[in-house]
Structure 1
Amino acid sequence: MKPMPWNTPADRRTLLRTAAALPAAAVMAGGALEGTAAAADAPGLPDFAPVPAAATGPELNDSGYFVGRIHGNLHWVTDGFYQAMFLSTREGVVLVDAPPTIGHNLLRAIAEVTQANGRPATVTHLVYSHSHADHAGASSILGKDVVRIGHAECRRLLLRADDPNRPAPTVTFEDRYTLQVGGETLELAYHGPNHAPDNIFVHAPEHRTLMVVDILYPGWVPFKNLAVSQDIPAWIRAQDIAMGYPWRTLVGGHLGRLGVRADGDLQRAYIADLEASTRASMNLDPTPYFDTYGPQGNSWAIFKTYLDAVAVQAAAPVAAKYTGVLAAADVFTLDNAAALVESFRIDAGLLGPFSTRP
């Protein structure tokens, strides 16, 4: 890799002191917005690298969605932001997830497919990948008679949420569940918490397809803060679990295209590079931060500016390496590094200058 311009101690110290004076997100994004008016007028919005052609999916129709066959009676639908998957069976349709951004286009996509193959268009079963509203929030449009299936923790979380748009599943499982409807089969499995406490793996073995949401992002870097995951070490392990399945096609739940196995390998390489860079950056000299804010008694300022600067240093070479390779490497790598910094501190015990005093 080409040496970065801040590889000398003096240059790096200048960069980090500058970063310490700004919110971390502003360092790579080119400045923060100052309210709704600024966003609406769009002055000073940052420029980002073009999205690589390999990251884009099929064009949407005039209604704003695309529906396509994965294999046999297994299909997927996307609006370019979110994805769902469905099986057309002799007895009705099994739908996996109901993202609200797709909304009623789910029903239009299903009708389009079932009219073509002469199968029933009624959704009889809905599988929740997990309880989050951005993937389950259109569940209510399916009515009360659909059989909703999810992990036991999904039921607990949705009962607590008491959201009429996300009725709790009535069929639950702890470890594994085989769903057989109209000659079609889905294998549901829970491998522990990762992105969410209830996130499951949905495998269609006959179709060599795996749907696992918010774990792998084909063609893109993960969403901010490592997919806003609640258990970062488990989220990283979940990538390996996903790659352990014998799938050919991945439905990742986000963005505009399906995944292939090379996408999983590429994301794991990105995460490995980010882990290595973050570990190295956690040796950053804390002296300027303690010298500046310690006399003021502002402990939070010490933490914020130091941790922000560590994230900036960790993210920079990784963002440079993957820009043009993975879409949005320059958008979310800083946020992902910041999440990894906190996980290393709290989960792995890499406390840096905040460790046990000698």
Structure 2
Amino acid sequence: MSNQRSTADTAVSDYAPIPESSFGPALNEQGYAVGRVERNLYWVTDGVYQAAFLTTQDGVVLFDAPPSIGHNIQRAIDEIAQANGVSNRVAYLVHTHHHADHGGASSLFGTDVVRIGHEETRRLLLRDDDPARPAPEETFSDRRTMEIGGERFELAWHGPNHTPDNSVIHFPDHDALMMVDIVNAGWVPVYVVNLSDDIPGYLGMPATALTYPWKSLISGHLGRLGTRADVQLHQRYMSDLEASARNALDTVDPTPYFTAGGANVWAGVKGYLNAVGDATAAPVMERYTGVLAAADVFTPDVGFWLMESIRLNHGYGLPVHP
């Protein structure tokens, strides 16, 4: 995978170069890369999304099915199965959460596959009624240890975070953890703090991840596996953003924005909050550009919504009228 810019999108040239360390392996002609995590645990990526799979005596256990990878998931499994003389049949599919961008290729694996997920994942998929994402038949509430075909992995839900149902998968015998949509290894989060429903819950998940023993992180996004150092760097970035947001709430004077808005109070609110958001993002964007990919692209949006979470979830910057 190379650091190429699209000639059709001239605005891309306005952004900082991507650090080479943020890229993963080159994609093949079919548009995917597949590699070994540890022993018989593998991961597959299209450079934007990731899935994982275990080869076992009872068939393949697939973890997530992003539609952007789509049929390349089976091609990757076929490649590994042929090289190792094992079954290429997907017998189980485990969902990390209900979002379509991570499960929208589930139906490609037919009706015989056993689908597994959190009980809230089942409820949300039944609600969404998407034929591309059949709801899991087997569910768990907080924790469940699975043993399939001589292999073991652990499912755990640590409360709402990116979504109400987002869960982690620990592979204790493969020195790996799958935690999706929390840390983007080598990159900053995207819109609305990685499009998270529960920002305080999201902020707590990296520390939870580090309580598990693991070496490789399957993060669900972008082109390479993560490391514990990636999680720690993400924590520093988010902590610096939080500190900057609190400082901005302490120091940006709302008076000129509400004065300019006059009777249009929403104009005053917009002017003030945009100013606080800009003040939140500026020092962090400067500090992390060249360290985390796209720090200059998404830090303003992430900083704004983190600041709003600090206001609304923690009450910071909302003084009581005397």
The AA in structure 2 aligned to 1:77 is V
Per the TM alignment, residue 82 of structure 1 is displaced from its structure 2 partner at its CA by 0.2
Match of 2:286 among 320, 325, 329: 320
User: How many aligned residue pairs are there?
Assistant: 316
In structure 2, the partner of 1:288 is 256
The match for 1:14 is none
Once the two structures are TM-superposed, the CA of residue 177 in structure 1 deviates from its matched residue by 1.1
Counterpart amino acid of 1:139?
A: S
Query: How many angstroms does 1:113 deviate by?
Result: 0.4
1:98 aligned onto 2:65: yes
Tell me the percent identity. Answer: 55
Q: Is the 8 A contact 1:307 1:341 kept in 2?
A: no
Report the residue type matching 2:282 in the other structure: A
Offset of residue 351 of structure 1: 3.3
Q: Which residue of 2 aligns with 1:112?
A: 79
State how far apart, in whole Å, the 2-side matches of 1:183 and 1:41 are. Answer: 50
* Pairing 1:347–2:313 present: yes
Give the conservation status (yes or no) of the 8 Å contact 1:155–1:172: yes
**C-alpha offsets along residues 77-130 of structure 1, whole Å, 9 cap, x if unaligned?**
000000001000111000000000000000000000011111111100000000
- CA RMSD of superposed structures (Å): 1.4
- Displacement of 1:51 after TM fit? 0.6
Unpaired segments ≥5 residues, structure 1: 1-38
Q: Does 1:357 align with 2:321?
A: yes
Instruction: Provide the residue aligned with 1:81 in structure 2.
Output: 48
Alignment partner for residue 244 of structure 1, among 183, 189, 211?
211
CA distance in 2 between partners of 1:308 and 1:244 (Å) = 37
Q: Find the aligned partners of 1:215 and 1:85 in 2 and give their Cα distance.
A: 16
Aligned-partner Cα distance in 2 for 1:115–1:274: 47
TM-score (norm 2): 0.96
Distance, in Å, in 2 between the alignment partners of 1:287 and 1:151 is 48
1:127 is aligned, of 91, 94, 105, to: 94
Per-residue CA deviations over 1:108-156 (Å, capped at 9, x if unaligned) read 0000001111111110000000000000011010101110000000011
Contact 2:65 2:106 in 1 (8 A): yes
Counterpart selection for 2:26 from 59, 72, 84: 59
The answer to whether the 8 Å contact 1:221/1:329 transfers is yes
TM-superposed CA distance for 1:44, in Å, is 5.3
* Superposition misfits of 4+ residues, deviation over 2 angstroms: 39-46
Deviation per CA, 1:180-216: give whole Å up to 9, x if none. Answer: 1111111000100000000001000000100010111
In structure 1, the residue matched to 2:172 is 205
- Do the aligned partners of residues 280 and 208 (structure 1) sit closer, same or farther apart at CA in structure 2, a change above 3 Å counting? same
The residue correspondences of 1:194-273 to structure 2 (distance < 5 A) are: 194-273=161-240
Q: Which amino acid aligns with 2:180?
A: V
1:300 aligns with 2:235: no
Shift of 1:340: 0.7
Question: Structure 2, unaligned stretches of length 5 or more?
Answer: 1-5
The CA deviation at 1:42 is 4.5
Equivalents in 1 of 2:29, 2:92: separation in Å? 28
Residue aligned with 2:51, SS: strand
